[in-house]
Chains A and B, each alone.
Chain A
Amino acid sequence: MAQEDSEKEEVENVEPETGKVSAAVPRRSIWSGSITIGLVNVPVNLFSMIYDKGIAFHFLHKIDGQPLKYVKMCTKDDKIVPWNEVTRGYEVSKNEYITLEKSELDAVKPESDNRIRISKFVDYFSVDPIYFDKTYALMPKKSKEAYTLLLRALEKKNKAGAGRITLRTKEYPALLHAYKGTLVLTILRYAYDVVNPQDFEDIQNLKEPEKTELDMAIKIIGDLAGDFDIAEFEDTYLKRVQELISQKVKGEKIHIEKPREVEAKSLMVALRETLKQLEQK
């Protein structure tokens, strides 16, 4: 939730000299703990570094323009089910469920021990990028000395620390490395969560191309070779929707009906009178 809020207020950072664009710095850390290497602890705060920018829409009622909400409905009688009557079911076989109470699930939750446990140091480029998930920025907490020491050592040796972290309720493999003079942590995917493309049938028994055709293709690649610049890319659909919105903002707006002042006022009068009566007792 906190992340959503900060995303809304977020503005882009543009470096004045280079014109390079980056996302705004988040205000709140999402995790706090220590990097542990053997007996050494480096206290750090973890911040989001990756955004998935999009435009959030709210569903409104076409007739009166008021916001809609989701309700849970029983599939048997279409009646709205209140939260205290909701439980979790796991489908064992078609239409057969076992139920799990929140307390039962809580009991098996992994406790985050607030540690990033580094077990060995590896060459950063030896890790296949296919396993890279989100990256987080680590900021020094309390003492900056231990942080700087670890950062400079990693830069010097050009190595990354491999280990694990528990975020919320899930344990992840993770890679600690130096990036732009900062310690960052990249969460990795588990091997069992990544498909081996060789397992697709479509890729089996490919016929090798003719040498002349291959030479031609290689030449085209050579001609189009260049340096990669991420700033060349932007979401054109997002941009068009933003333009559409700014046009509409100038025009007619739908207002959400806020409580009328009158109501707040008569409530205040009632509250003052009742509080006075209760005091007298």
Chain B
Amino acid sequence: MAEELKGLTKVDLKNLDKILYPDVKVTKGQFIEYYIRMAPKMLPIMKDRPLVLTRYPDGVKGEKLGFFEKNAPMGTPEWVKTKTIYSSASKRDVHYIVCNDLDTLIWLANLATLEIHMPFSTIDDLDKPDFLFFDIDPEPPATLSDAAEVSLQLKDKLVSLGLTPFIKTSGKKGFHVVIPIVPDLDFKETRAFVHEVGIDLAKENELVVSEFKDTKKPGKVFADYLQNSPMRTMVVPYSLRPTPEATVSAPLEWSEVKKGINPSDFNIFNEVKRKDDPWKIIFEKRCKLEI
């Protein structure tokens, strides 16, 4: 059996029966299988993006924390594509993983990479974003339901501006709204635009706050614009999250976004069963942002 498996992937799969999600009893084998099955939906969006990983070699449980990894770890096989970016903060080169094929995704899963995060630009030009990003983040007691209400309001506003927004659950408590754009602006410009839209929303709906200083106000929903910056990231669509229920950052149709929506409805077990891909046409809907 192991030999047959080797004929299908370059990755030497290890510890397949190790439990990664103890509350829902998900083994590393099931975890890898999830990423294999989601690959056709994930790879087109991750393509040519330097990735930031969160690895949980000991699984998701209580105090056991995962760790962030930007630099390609020791023992990275030579067939894994990387992109070297100089980090002025830590004054050294960082070799980011770029995942353009199934084997690389399987290799990441085999390293217990639970979360995969991507920036809003590609290695073609890291300073020119090809996505606008709104992080709709409710502060308890505000819930995903409240975030849904704000997201729908945001959608109407964006559509009236002639843009085509796409939405996914964050996999935790909020929503991510993205707009594919022609990459001819810089992050300063996209950030200013996203911020402006957030300010407008806050004027219309008292639930919404648009400024970082107000994020911790209980019961409010923050329309976060700050991630629209070079090498700031969002969790990639269909990535798992380190929650006890093995939730997923799930792309949705706008019709599914409504009151009563629950983040744990989207998890490792039911996401694989979903046939359609609400984000399938995302790059066909790229629009030119005029500011």
Contact = CB atoms under 8 A, between A and B. Distances in A.
A278 B39 contact: yes
B9 interface: yes
B214 interface: no
B8 interface: yes
Nearest to A272: B8
A134 B214 CA distance: 70
B37 A259 contact: no
B73 A278 contact: no
A41 B1 CA distance: 51
Contact of B40 (A82, A84, A277): A277
Contacts of B9: 271
A278 B44 CA distance: 11
B2 A274 contact: no
A263 interface: yes
Nearest to A258: B17
Contact of B102 (A79, A266, A267, A278): A278
A265 interface: yes
Interface in B95-118: 102
B32 interface: yes
Interface in A68-91: 79, 82-85
B184 to A, nearest CB: 27
A261 interface: yes
Nearest to B68: A82
B277 to A, nearest CB: 11
B163 to A, nearest CB: 27
B33 A84 contact: no
A130 interface: no
Contacts of B2: 264
B280 to A, nearest CB: 11
Nearest to B43: A278
Interface in B18-43: 27, 29-30, 32-33, 36-37, 39-40, 43
Contact of B73 (A79, A84, A259, A267): A84
B255 interface: no
Contacts of A240: none
B71 A268 contact: no
Interface string A249-277: 00000000101110111111011111101
Interface residues of A, number: 24
Nearest to B32: A267
A275 B102 contact: yes
A281 interface: yes
Nearest to B27: A263
Contacts of A270: 33, 36-37
B211 to A, nearest CB: 33
Contact of A267 (B5, B65, B67): B5
A271 B8 contact: yes
Contact of A278 (B5, B40, B69, B71): B40
A272 B33 CA distance: 11
B17 A84 contact: no
A37 to B, nearest CB: 40
Nearest to B2: A264
Contact of A274 (B27, B29, B39): B39
A174 B73 CA distance: 38
Contacts of B43: 278
A260 B17 contact: yes
Contacts of A281: 40
Contacts of B74: 83-84
B16 interface: yes
A257 B19 CA distance: 12
Contact of B69 (A82, A268, A274): A82
Given A268-B4, A271-B9, A274-B102, A263 B29 contact: yes
Interface string B48-85: 00000001000000000101010101100000000000
A272 B39 CA distance: 12
B8 A275 contact: yes
Contacts of A84: 69, 71, 73-74
Interface of B: 1-2, 4-5, 8-9, 13, 15-17, 27, 29-30, 32-33, 36-37, 39-40, 43, 55, 65, 67, 69, 71, 73-74, 102
21 contacts: A79-B65, A84-B69, A84-B71, A84-B74, A259-B13, A259-B17, A263-B16, A264-B1, A266-B33, A267-B13, A267-B16, A267-B36, A268-B4, A271-B5, A271-B36, A273-B37, A277-B40, A278-B39, A278-B40, A278-B43, A278-B102
